[in-house]
């Protein structure tokens, strides 16, 4: 370092110290007689500016944190972790219940018979699977396609919450009772929840019947189409 550079650095340091001194004088004039030096406060201050603090949450990071998950018993019999697919900044996210046999094999949500019906519904809304995001309440297949158990949902849900925070969708479509009740934290039947918007994680959530239910009860397709039309209107998609 040359003398000129050294003098410049010393001057800058003195300027900073001068600023700190005047600020402390100002605090003293306003009646401040000390600082909170608890361990917690010191940690908070020393964390300021850490890259970790300011890096935005990404789906890649969440997937990495999930790792080869063994947090619940479903890991023992699954073939794939079904994380989610689609636009990482989608305006609309579809949330199902959990992977079935086809999804477990493919590692992708909604690719079986119910998935094909969901794809048709998405196309009827003038959208594509690539323009939305599709995921589930739980990421591993429950044996025999039983409903997820409360502790399985509780273990997996924080990852879905992080996915939603990363995607920041304007709209969520909850497919079926498990998805709707988990996301809304209630036990109301899907027949009472569907057909109107609810608030969920900063998005407007429309619950509707699960495509598997529609395969067994095709007369309910009319209700689902009404729910999708309500979503289209709010999203500004022409009917």
In the complex, the residues that contact ligand URA under the rule CB under 6 A are: 96-100, 103, 109-110, 114-115, 136, 212
CB of 108 to ligand URA, least distance (A): 8
Query: Which residue has the closest beta carbon to ligand URA?
Result: 96
Contact assessment for residue 173 and residue 93, using Cβ atoms and an 8 Å cutoff: yes
Least distance from ligand URA to the Cβ atom of residue 105, Å: 11
**Nearest CB to ligand URA, comparing residues 114 and 121:** 114
Nearer to ligand URA (CB atom), residue 28 or residue 74: 74
Distances (CA, A) of 18 to 14, 91, 154: 6, 50, 53
What token pair was written down for 20?
Answer: 């700190």
The string over 60-71, giving b where at least 16 C-beta atoms fall within 10 Å of a residue's C-beta and e elsewhere, is eebeeebeebee
Q: Which residues have CB under 8 Å from 114's CB, separation 6+?
A: 96, 100, 210, 211, 212, 215
Q: At its nearest, how many Å lie between ligand URA and the CB of residue 123?
A: 17
Which CB, 14 or 141, lies closer to ligand URA?
Answer: 141
Residues in the chain: 239
CB 51 to ligand URA: min, Å: 35
Q: Which is nearer to ligand URA, 72 or 114 (CB)?
A: 114
Q: What's 236's DSSP letter?
A: T
């Amino acid at each position: 370092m040359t003398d000129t550079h050294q003098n410049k650095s010393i001057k800058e340091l003195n300027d900073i110290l001068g600023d700190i001194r005047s600020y402390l004088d100002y605090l003293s004039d306003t009646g401040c007689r000390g600082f909170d030096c608890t361990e917690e406060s010191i940690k908070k201050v020393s964390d300021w500016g850490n890259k970790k603090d300011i890096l935005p949450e990404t789906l890649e990071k969440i997937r990495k944190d999930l790792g080869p998950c063994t947090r619940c018993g479903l890991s023992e019999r699954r073939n794939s972790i079904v994380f989610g697919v689609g636009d990482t900044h989608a305006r609309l996210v579809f949330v199902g219940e959990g992977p079935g046999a086809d999804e477990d094999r493919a590692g992708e949500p909604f690719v079986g018979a119910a998935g094909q019906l969901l794809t048709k519904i998405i196309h009827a809304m003038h959208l594509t699977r690539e323009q939305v995001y599709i995921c589930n309440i739980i990421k591993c297949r429950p044996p025999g396609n039983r409903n997820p158990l409360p502790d399985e949902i509780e273990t997996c849900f924080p990852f879905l919450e992080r996915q939603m925070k990363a995607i920041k969708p304007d709209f969520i479509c909850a497919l079926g009772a498990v998805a709707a009740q988990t996301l809304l934290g209630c036990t109301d039947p899907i027949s009472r929840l569907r057909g109107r918007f609810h608030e969920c994680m900063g998005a407007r959530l429309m619950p509707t019947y699960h495509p598997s239910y529609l395969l067994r009860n095709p007369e309910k397709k009319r209700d689902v189409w009404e729910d999708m039309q309500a979503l289209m209107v709010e999203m500004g998609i022409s009917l």
